[in-house]
Amino acid sequence: MKKLSSVLFIILLLLAESNFAQISARLLQTPDVSKTQVAFSYGGDIWIAPKAGGLANKLTSADGFEGMPHFSPDGKQIAFSANYDGNTDVYIVPSKGGIPKRITFHGMNDRVIDWTPDGKYLIFASSRKSGKQRFNQFYKISANGGLAEKLPIPFAEFGSLSPDGKQIAFTPRTRVYRTWKRYRGGMASNIYTFNLENYKSKNITNNDANNELPMWHKNKIYFLSDNGPKKRSNIWSYNLDTKQLSQITNFVDFDIHFPAVGSNDMVFEAGGKLYVMDLTTEKYNEINIDVVTDESTLMAKSVNPKNLIQNVSISYDGNRAILEARGEIFSVPAEKGPVYNLSQTSGVAERYPAWSPNGKYVAYWSDKTGEYELTIRDFENNNKERTITSFGSGYRYRIYWSPDSKKLSFIDNAMDIYVVDVKSKKVTKVDHQLFLMEFGLRNFAVNWSPDSRYIVYGKNLPNKMNAIAIYDTKNSKLNVVTKGFYNDAAPVFDPEGKYLYFLTNRSFKPVYSDFDNTWVYPNATQIAVVPLTNEITSPLAPENDSTTVKKEEAKKDKKEDDSKDKDEKKKDKVETKIEFADFEERLEILPIDAGNYGNLTAVKGKVIYQKYPNRGSASKERPIKFFDFKERKEKDIVSDANGYMLSADGSKMLVINKRNFYVVKTDAGQKLEKAMPIAQMEMIVIPQKEWKQIFNDAWRLERDFFYDPNMHGVDWNGVKKQYSKLLENAVTRWDVNYIIGEMIGEINASHAYRGGGDAERAKRKPVGYLGIDWGKKDGKYFVKRIVKGASWDSEVRAAIDKSGLKIKEGDFILAVNNIPLNTNKEPYAAFQGYANETISLTVNNKPDMDGAWEVLIKPLKDETRLRNLDWIENNRKRVEEASNGKIGYVYVPSTGVRDGQYELVRMFYPQMNKQGLIVDERFNNGGQIPDRFIELLNRKPLAYWAVRDGATWQWPPVGHFGAKAMLINGWSGSGGDAFPDYFRKTGLGKLIGSRTWGGLIGISGAPSLIDGGYLTVPTFRMYDPDGKWFKEGYGVDPDIEVEEDMTALAKGKDTQLEKAIEQVMKELKENPNTIPKQPPYEKR
């Protein structure tokens, strides 16, 4: 029996081992090295292997990505960053394996940087107190846990402690995660040394290259830099004795990533391979790593793609719909019946399906050939596919069938409009648009006349207006039927061939600002109707309830009835007649209020549309409505929806609402009750095939949409070949993103990003915050500082900074919900999951429970804005104090809607009466093109108005006419580049600080990747009125250069701000900003 059990055990063991494979691993990321071992991240987990290579063991297996392993000085422990419990925190695990110990508990990402030389503490980077999420700072924490101490370095991303632990080499900025190679802008980092005792700092690289990841080893600081002639990231060193920089490696095909040093070795990755360098000789060799794994991330899997539905098409009768999801085409019933996956092509993308009006075909774009080509699936011929076109490169959008199911129309990425004859495969170019980017292309529509002869669409005009254009497919003639004096769009034919309906912006009702005398013209859209000939009566013509004389009906025989039926059928096929002369003169506006309308369609006797909330309205509903020409009334079909699509026979519509799909009739009062069974959609994903399609899509999208067809002179075909080889080693979707990032980085352009997709995701748990700086004394946690903005900043206050709460700085917080705070953990450990939740705090003015009291609070979900307001107010106070109240201070965090446009006016209006103004756009993360920002700042005095009593009026009433200066730095980019550029061009004042990011090749959207991942494509680039390009990858130079002074900042002095105060005060002295003296009263 014992022998049999042993045999069975061996068989089971062999069976278990047969499910695993020993493979040679590539794409090993963020490695580290000890005396005997290397650690690295592979497949999102931490592994460890002998330094000489060989078989690796997996140490971690949490959901999400674990990375940045760092050996302790004795090699017995590994610190790393991971998300086991809801946030990316610092953990420690024994090198031989074991249970990871959580060290940090804050909700912001905590990234391991280094161990202290004695192995007692860890250094990590976090933005927890940065105030602006544009930079990190360093923190020191015990390897046993407890309260983290912020180091005095003002900005810090990566670093390495000196052997004695008294100094640190660090980078204040980093671009190691950026997908932009050969960059030389203001965001490029230098290596600094910083004395942790006396705060002395020194820039040891001091060049415009990307100098990253310093590694202090004996008398050298090694680092990564692209300062060589090929501008590839290689290993360099700085000799602390000779002060000389030297290039150590010379990789030319791939960049080196994330080097790390141990006791006498360096490890790094390049081209997916791992290398170890002996620091005595500075010679390196590749090491081969094998892993034993079941390769489960590469296994085929069945998934429901309902959350990745991108396009839909309803059948002619509304009984079914075709849905595009994750690159597959599904046929889904309106309510009952099976769901069919029509394509079943993992590794091939089908996009923009369109069901023909006769129900026989579905057309879509397929990249089966390697490029997106028009493909027809024939339901009457065994679902057989037929490729119609051979365009080659390019991307195409929504397909529109003619009513007779014989022709198709669409637009492509080059803004060219086409018509294709399905039978002959003839392709006819109809027109070319001028101003459509991704959103406009995705929503571009044509509409066919009922007889399939004409298509109609909104045509871009040079004056940026749209006119209505009608193309005659019979005569190949384009007719532009409105003049473009107003913006006309979204035209549709009446199904009876009598009228044309379209949206038109002809309502001009100004809405004034509450803060100054500026105005805008929102909610301007109306619906127009035009009879197609002069003989057709307007559907809005006056009505007359008339009575006719009743006549006796003659007897009819069967032959007469048959003849009448034939005549009716002939009428159904009547030719659409259009009189193009004086077309716009027949236009009338429907009697409904102007507003925000879209998605115009028509059925017999009705025009259907969707009404969106008016600008400034509190309403959130987007009802689908129709105007009934017979009753002359507007009625609701459904009360709220994301969108809809009309069936070809006009009887039903597919309604989209909150990620569900419904089919309802085109009658009033429909309810969204029975959703389509999208939960039954299933498809097989073969990861490696899908990843190849995603990689190819990313490459094609950059090729087809990038603003420069020459791809900045890069051999784009060669780049594809180079990086596609790495794809063979990918084992996770993270690897795919990494490879795509490396590929698109070769273009050397800003705003080239990628991310997302079907990657493993760890759970997130919100952390509550009190809005304080924590301290520790007498073995307990206490309130060291309450973080505050200005007294008028009611937007957000610290959770404990409320009226009636008896908590002040210096008080001890002893328990949360009656659970004592454990000072062996960060205090945030007690607030996991408590963001915006009511909790109790036990508080005392001494470190024990005697006399303690309880208060109820709601912790904040985020402290970033509060800390930003604190920083802003401290700057404002400093400017006010130093200038004796003469200068105002305005901080502009972005050029976007939510914070930049808000913050600019919030700070500008109350300070516009100051004699001078400092506009601080440091750390500006961009957004929109800031011409309106400049318009506000650049208002000139036109007049002054004398009044008998009270103060003189200036005109314009809101404007600042005095001296100005702008603060800039390398974190300011995109719109944050354009803002100082325009500030200088308009002569508003001096630019002070350091050079900006230098990224003004903008993005306007791009097609999604099939698994929900994203890719950005830079589609437009700024050049100046003199015909010269903006210095992409360089940035905006200051007029007065003041680099960040790490020592001064560590001591609390902002030298850039001080210089701005000095400059504006100087200009005010030379040219005071005063109201001109009123002239004497006249005798009139």
Q: Which of 455, 453, 351 is nearest to 409 (CA)?
A: 455
Output the CA torsion sign for 550, 554, 555, 560. negative
User: Is there a domain that residue 1062 lies in?
Assistant: yes
Max CA distance (Å), the chain: 128
In a domain, 44, yes or no: no
CATH number at residue 918: 3.90.226.10
Share of the chain above pLDDT 70, in %: 96
Q: How far apart are CA 991 and CA 438, in angstroms?
A: 35
Which residues, 6 or more positions from 424, have their beta carbon under 8 angstroms from its beta carbon? none
If asked whether residues 749 and 795 sit together in one domain, one would say no
Task: Provide the token pair at 16.
Answer: 């278990």
Query: What pLDDT is stored for residue 21 in this prediction?
Result: 66
Q: What pLDDT is attached to residue 1080? A: 94
pLDDT tens-digit profile of 181-231?
Answer: 999 999 999 999 999 999 999 999 999 999 999 999 999 999 999 999 999
What pLDDT is recorded for position 23?
Answer: 84
In the DSSP assignment, the letter for residue 102 is E
Contact 623, 639 (CB under 8 A): yes
* Structural domain includes residue 58: no
Q: pLDDT tier at 17 (50, 70, 90 boundaries)?
A: very low
Tell whether 222 and 358 lie within a shared domain: no
Which one-letter amino acid corresponds to residue 991?
A: L
Q: Is residue 398 in a domain?
A: yes
What crossing angle do the helices spanning 716-727 and 687-705 adopt, rounded to 10°? 160
Residues 403 and 507 in one domain: no
HEC string for 121-183: EEEEEECCCCCCCCCCEEEEEECCCCCCEECCCCCCCEEEECCCCCEEEEECCCCCCCCCCCC
pLDDT at site 544: 83
Calpha distance 879→860 (Å, rounded): 30
> How confident is the model at residue 558, as a pLDDT?
60
pLDDT 10s digits, 357-399: 999 999 999 999 999 999 999 999 999 999 999 999 999 999 9
Q: Is the pLDDT of residue 550 over 90?
A: no
What is the pLDDT at residue 6?
41
Burial class (CB within 10 angstroms; exposed 0-12, middle 13-18, buried 19+) of 64: middle
Beta carbons within 8 Å of 919's beta carbon, 6+ residues apart: 890, 892, 937, 964, 965, 966, 967, 983
Q: Is residue 110 classed exposed, middle or buried when 0-12, 13-18 and 19+ CB atoms within 10 A define those classes?
A: buried
Residue 12 has pLDDT above 50, yes or no: no
CATH of the domain at 676: 2.130.10.10
Q: Are residues 844 and 796 in the same domain?
A: yes
Which residue matches tokens 């401290």?
Answer: 874
1023/510 Cα distance (integer angstroms): 33
Is the pLDDT at 7 greater than 70, yes or no? no
> Are 751 and 777 in a shared domain?
no
Above 80 in pLDDT, residue 14? no
Can you give the pLDDT at residue 545? 81
Which of 151, 253, 379 lies closest to 1049, judged by CA? 151
As beta bridge partners, residue 235 has 224
In a domain, 1013, yes or no: no
Are residues 361 and 421 both part of a single domain? yes
Among the residue ranges 4-8, 456-460, 558-562, 928-932, the one predicted with the least confidence is 4-8
Q: In angstroms, rounded to a whole number, what is the distance separating the alpha carbons of residues 547 and 864?
A: 75
Q: Which of 611, 604, 595, 730 is nearest to 666 (CA)?
A: 604
Q: Does residue 565 surpass a pLDDT of 60?
A: no
Mean pLDDT of 499-527: 96
1060 and 982 assigned to the same domain: yes
**Tens digits of residue pLDDT in 48-72:** 999 999 999 999 998 889 999 999 9
Q: Which residue has the tokens 């803060």?
A: 515
**Domain range enclosing 742:** 686-755
Residues 630 and 503 in one domain: yes
Q: Which amino acid is at 586?
A: R
Strands, E assignment, 682-764: 683-685, 754-755
| CB atoms closer than 10 angstroms to residue 620 | 8
pLDDT at res. 622: 97
Single out the residue in 721, 755, 789 at which a domain terminates.
755
Q: Are residues 219 and 272 in the same domain?
A: yes
Same domain, 422 and 375: yes
Structure confidence at residue 554 as a pLDDT band (50, 70, 90): low
- Spatial contact of 956 and 517, defined as CB atoms under 8 Å apart: yes
Residues 676 and 701 occupy one common structural domain? no
Out of 860, 894, 919, a domain closes at 860
Report the candidate in 1031, 310, 326, 393 with the shortest Cα–Cα distance to residue 706: 393
User: What are the Cα distances from residue 355, in Å, to 324, 378, 679?
Assistant: 12, 10, 22
- Per-residue pLDDT at 898: 85
| CA angle (23, 28, 29) in 5-degree steps | 160
C-beta of residue 305 within 8 angstroms of C-beta of residue 329:
no
Euclidean distance between the first and final Cα of the chain, in Å?
Answer: 127
For 769-816, the pLDDT digits (tens) are 999 999 999 999 999 999 999 999 999 999 999 999 989 999 999 999
The answer on pLDDT for 567 being more than 70 is: no
Strand partners, 856: 840
Give me the mean pLDDT over the 985-1013 stretch.
97
β-strands 350-355, 121-126 pairing? unpaired
pLDDT at 8: 38
For the record, the structure tokens of 118 come out as 């004695």
Burial of 987 (0-12, 13-18, 19+ CB in 10 A): exposed
If one counts the domains in the chain, the total is: 6
Tens digits of residue pLDDT in 317-367: 999 999 999 999 999 999 999 999 999 999 999 999 999 999 999 999 999
Q: Is residue 106 part of a domain?
A: no
Q: Which pLDDT value is given to residue 22?
A: 81
3-state secondary structure string, 209-254? CCEEEEEEECCEEEEEECCCCCCCCEEEEEECCCCCEEECCCCCCC
pLDDT in tens, 638-663: 999 999 999 999 999 999 999 999 99
What CATH number should be reported for the domain holding residue 723? 3.30.750.44
Task: Give domain status of residue 397, yes or no.
Answer: yes
Give the domain-ending residue among 657, 684, 711: 684
CATH number, domain with residue 821: 2.30.42.10
543 falls in which pLDDT band (50, 70, 90)?
Answer: confident
Q: Are residues 992 and 889 in the same domain?
A: yes
Helices 733-745 & 716-727 angle (0-180, nearest 10): 160
Average pLDDT of span 701-719: 98
836-857 pLDDT per residue, tens: 999 999 999 999 999 999 999 9
Residue 1043 included in any domain: yes
